Chains A and B, each alone.
Chain A
């Protein structure tokens, strides 16, 4: 298939997506719009998380830290000085932050930049180790960020959190960022940089022997991933309008991990599918947490049942379908065309 027809198809697909979003924005209920916003934010998070975990093969367990950094940065920059004064009742917000007020877009960029800066500094200790050790160090980072958010009252307002953020995040912001993140990260993965990252995942010693500067490439992936996690954190903050350290626990990382493992580690398509299934499925499964009447039994609502089901699904995937839904494959027009022609020729699906 020629590059031109692919471009046309891509544009058509994007217009269809944004047309659909327009319809929802106009006629959808607040609940539907909320779910769509969540889906977009989790697509951004899952695709950027997959860059480190799936493509580079590092078991990074600290994205909740980067999301928290992005959320707090963006919130502190976008609130007006008056709003900040209302929030900080126990201590005062330190000086430069207390007067800065920037547009939402700038605050999102800053959220990404600050998260990437943190990624740069922690990549020095983190990338000295691999495997289980890297998982432990990054997990520790995520927890340290959360604890610092709790303790650094004069910056983050501690456990009280920041309340009453203006709900800037709408469908255009969240899906705009999601589409941008997917395109940009996918371009990186398909370039020679992505190839070098995959080579490091396959065999780091060999990659280095072929002249790949492994630590710099991993640092690049780490920073790009952190950037988009930070931006998504900013979007999340202005969607839920209240952030506190409790929002950014390890559960957030665990959810992302479920998405990319179920979708297929190393596949951005898989990450997207995982994010959609998880977010939408999470809402659809609310029924299991409600009191139920089954004939003579009455089951009282059990909060947290959804997580039990998700964990169960994760176990099933690990045990019986370790490659997830997509494996390492990406959905592309070429793949669709080849599947379609095979189907029309032989009549066998897939």
Chain B
């Protein structure tokens, strides 16, 4: 029963609107799961609930045996769940290296006082963070852009930097909100390869929201489909492709037409 990550009958209401209803999901270590559904199905709300940005009305979120439903966002990140955002949220006026260095902030052991006095202990820690951040940038192939301001980067690179920044928090579960949005086919292939590499080297689980069906079907082992806040189907890409409810959600229709 105690799985790696699970959401149990989670519901979130905004006023009278049920954005997510009785949503359950479990993820095993190392899995890559896709969360799909038409616009407004409640996918991002699920992400926001997992990362503590909004609290579920009812239901529990269990992470490695602990209930994290009411934890603050930064504590959830410390616990090992990192995310990216649908509309890219980089620290625009900071350079690429600094963007990644922020992710190591919670690993700081020296106090602000030693920072203000400039103790050697603190300087060593700053150097450690710098080196680790550069290592992450090298892994993602972003090291040559280190001193570039985040806001000046092309779109595809910004997406990649956001993933790198999330990885720098050293998560065990990574939530990607439409990582391939706005990318051209070449960039998408590159992204899929990058995600596969990251999964292998860090051994992390990934949950991703994506609208590009070919991308999702290509890399996910299991797919969960949402519509109007309800989970309507779950299975392998093959099963999802032929699921009548999924086809109805995407293409409309009464549903009694055989296909």
Contacts and interface: CB of A to CB of B under 8 A. Distances in A.
A39 interface: no
A214 interface: yes
B115 interface: yes
A191 interface: yes
Interface stretch (A117-125, A143-151, A194-202): A194-202
B91 A211 contact: no
Given A192-B129, A195-B105, A211 B92 contact: no
B101 A187 contact: no
B74 A203 contact: no
A195 B98 contact: yes
B78 A211 contact: yes
B105 A211 contact: yes
B78 A192 contact: no
Contacts of A212: 74, 102, 105-106
B86 to A, nearest CB: 12
Contacts of B77: 208-211
Interface stretch (B31-39, B116-124, B199-207, B215-223): B116-124
Interface string A283-327: 000000000000000000000000000000000000000000000
B115 A199 contact: no
A15 interface: no
A91 to B, nearest CB: 40
B12 interface: no
A85 interface: no
Report, as a range, how many residues of chain A touch the other chain. Answer: 20 to 34
B73 A203 contact: no
Contacts, number: 104
A101 interface: no
Contact of A193 (B82, B103, B112): B112
Interface residues of B, number: 37
Given A187-B115, A188-B115, A328-B93, A206 B74 contact: no
B169 interface: yes
Contacts of B118: 187
Contact of B89 (A184, A205, A220): A205
Contact of A210 (B102, B108, B116): B102
A192 B89 contact: no
A198 B129 contact: no
B20 to A, nearest CB: 19
Interface of A: 184-185, 187-188, 191-193, 195-196, 198-199, 202-203, 205-214, 220, 224, 328
Interface of B: 51, 53, 72-74, 77-78, 82-83, 85, 89-94, 98, 101-106, 108, 112, 115-118, 122, 125-126, 129, 165-166, 168-169
25 contacts: A184-B116, A184-B117, A187-B116, A188-B115, A191-B122, A192-B105, A192-B108, A193-B105, A196-B102, A198-B91, A198-B98, A199-B91, A202-B91, A203-B92, A206-B90, A208-B73, A208-B74, A209-B74, A209-B82, A209-B83, A209-B89, A211-B77, A212-B106, A213-B72, A224-B112
Lowest 8 A-B CB distances belong to which pairs? A191-B115, A211-B77, A202-B91, A206-B89, A211-B106, A208-B73, A199-B102, A196-B105
